[in-house]
Every structure is written in structure tokens, then in C-alpha cells.
Amino acid sequence: MQELTPETITGAVLDQMSTTTDPRLKQIMASAVKHLHAFAMDVNLTPAEWIKGIAFMTEVGKICTPARQEFILLSDTLGLSALVNGLHDNTAMEEGTHTSLLGPFYREASPALAAGSQIAKTVKAGSEIVLYGHVSDVNGRPIANATVSIWQTGASGLYDIQENAAAIDYRGVFSTDANGLYLLRTVRPIGYSIPMDGPVGDMVRAQKRHGMRPAHIHFLVGAPGYRELVTALYLRDDPHLEDDVVFGSSGDLAVDIAPKDADCPIKGLPSIRFDMRLSRETAADKAGGRVGADPSAILKQPA
């Protein structure tokens, strides 16, 4: 019988897993074991620390519900979501608008609204803005009938799903017209803190991090024959644009609110113009490329 030591245990595990028939599963699991074992060796992980880590992951799982995905939040705050997003971006056949994170608050069940509709049920005086732009291919040709899904926080700094899992607010789905134009009314987004009342919040506080996200609006854009775009616009004047706690913001997605814009289709309101370019779809894109999901959908995934 082989004597297992810290120096031989990794090889023994890899040998036992070598019968895995799925080549991709075999590759992923072998690499995961190597890196996990190397991590434990590197920090000389103690039994007490190991148990504490298991307890932390257990709490992350226990707090997950159809309305809250703490594991996505954990992935986001560790920069893993941004890393996977970047790796996916590298597979595009051409460079379109840069992506951002889907985040833990996306919902598939969002209402389809007519162009120019207001997505917020309650609008405070002075907070309303117009959001518009064009969706095109990478060469600037407009894409008609593209689906533009929008979601953001409300005036409280919370998403609807955080306040009431059954409510639908501050989100909607629009279609582009023959010129690729999408148009809606919303409210000025505000910066907000990620949920700090769970294990991820405890981790962020222990690391002396602020937990803040810069003001932003999420987009999910799709059209037949094109790569699905998950992105967001960020307000340029937000103080946390440079140190977003989930590493999702970037300078090329930063925008300003224009007090007056002669090109805005709806007059008399401040506006944001945010144009987006879609790259062509590849065979690999059809397998899915979203870094994130509707929290309720994740719980329905088969093991």
C-alpha cells in the first residue's frame, strides 16, 4: 500500500481520477486538485482554518435562494467573474462593445415595453433621465429588432428582487427600430453597497474593503446571428469607478449625463447616449457565454 504524505497525496488523487471519461471534466478536475493542493501547501493550511473555510462555504450556500445568489456575489468580489468574463471575451471573432458583469440580480422574467417607456414605477422629481442609443454591428451597420434588456437599482440603492422577490421594477426589455435605435426613460442610477448582511459581506469587512459599486445600468443585448452582449454603463463621476468591489467597471464603459442633448429623441430631460456594437456569433457562442444567471434558474440546474 502506498504511503500517503503531503508530497504524494496529489499524485494519488490524480491517479484515482484518471478514469474520468469526459475529457473536459478530467482536465478541469485535475487542474482544480493541483491548484487546491498547491494552495494548501503554500499557506500551510491548518485543520482549524480548513474547517473555518468549509463553514464559510456552507453559509454561502445556505443563504442562496431563488432571489439571492451569494455564490455569484462571492465569485464577483474575488474577481473570478471578471476573469472568466475576460477569458470569454478573448474568444470573440471581432471586437464589439466591451462586456461587464451580469451580476447576481438579473431576472429572465422582465416585461417587454414599448420604446420610450419609463421602467421605474416611482420617479422622484428631478431624477428622471432618457436613455438611448444605437445597436450596430462592428462596422456601424444598424441592427433592427435587437432585444435590449435593462435593469438597475432604484432610489433606495436596492434592486427590486432584494426588496420584494415577487416585484418587477426598474427593469424592462426593449426592441431596436429599423435604425437600430433603442429608447427608454429611467431614473439616474446611484452607487450602492453589495449585500453586506451575509458571509460575503463578512469577508469584505474582514478585508477592510468598502463594498461599494459605482452607479451603473445593466444591459443584455441579443440579435440573431450575433454574439450576446452582457455589459453595463457606468457614471463617470462616481467616486468608486476606479475601485469597484466586483471589478466590473471600466473606463470605456463610463458615460456622462448630458443636461441637454440635441440628438435625444425625447426633449426636456437629461439624457445618456450609450451605443453598442455586437460581434458576429460563432459556433462556440451558441453554447452560452453569460457569466451569471437568474438566481432562480441556478437553483433549477441539474446536479
In a domain, 65, yes or no: no
Among residues 147, 146, 145, 170, which one has the least CA distance to residue 157?
170
Q: How far is CA 65 from the centre of its chain?
A: 18
Which class for 71: exposed (0-12), middle (13-18), buried (19 or more C-beta within 10 A)? middle
What is the CATH classification number for the domain harbouring 239? 2.60.130.10
Q: Are residue 152 and residue 263 in the same domain, yes or no?
A: yes
Q: Are residue 222 and residue 171 in the same domain, yes or no?
A: yes
pLDDT of res. 157: 86
Q: Are residue 152 and residue 97 in the same domain, yes or no?
A: yes
CA 253, CA 274: separation in Å to the nearest integer? 9
Q: Are residue 234 and residue 279 in the same domain, yes or no?
A: yes
Q: Are residue 139 and residue 278 in the same domain, yes or no?
A: yes
In a domain, 57, yes or no: no
**Per-position b or e across 143-181, b if 16+ CB within 10 A of its CB:** beebbbbbbbbbeeebbbbbeeeeebbbbbbbbbeeebb
pLDDT of res. 301: 59
Q: Are residue 23 and residue 92 in the same domain, yes or no?
A: no
Q: Are residue 80 and residue 27 in the same domain, yes or no?
A: no
Q: Are residue 188 and residue 253 in the same domain, yes or no?
A: yes
3-state secondary structure 206-269: HCCCCCEECCEEEEEEECCCECCEEEEEEECCCCCCCCCCCCCCCHHHEECCECCCCCCCCCCC
Q: Are residue 257 and residue 119 in the same domain, yes or no?
A: yes
Q: Give the residue numbers spanning the domain of 95.
A: 70-283+291-299
Q: Are residue 41 and residue 75 in the same domain, yes or no?
A: no
In a domain, 225, yes or no: yes
Which residues of the chain have a pLDDT value below 70? 286-293, 299-303
pLDDT of res. 300: 63
Q: Are residue 169 and residue 205 in the same domain, yes or no?
A: yes
> How many domains are there within the chain?
2
CA 167, CA 179: separation in Å to the nearest integer? 33
Q: Are residue 168 and residue 135 in the same domain, yes or no?
A: yes
pLDDT of res. 178: 97
Identity of the amino acid at 156: S
pLDDT of res. 188: 94
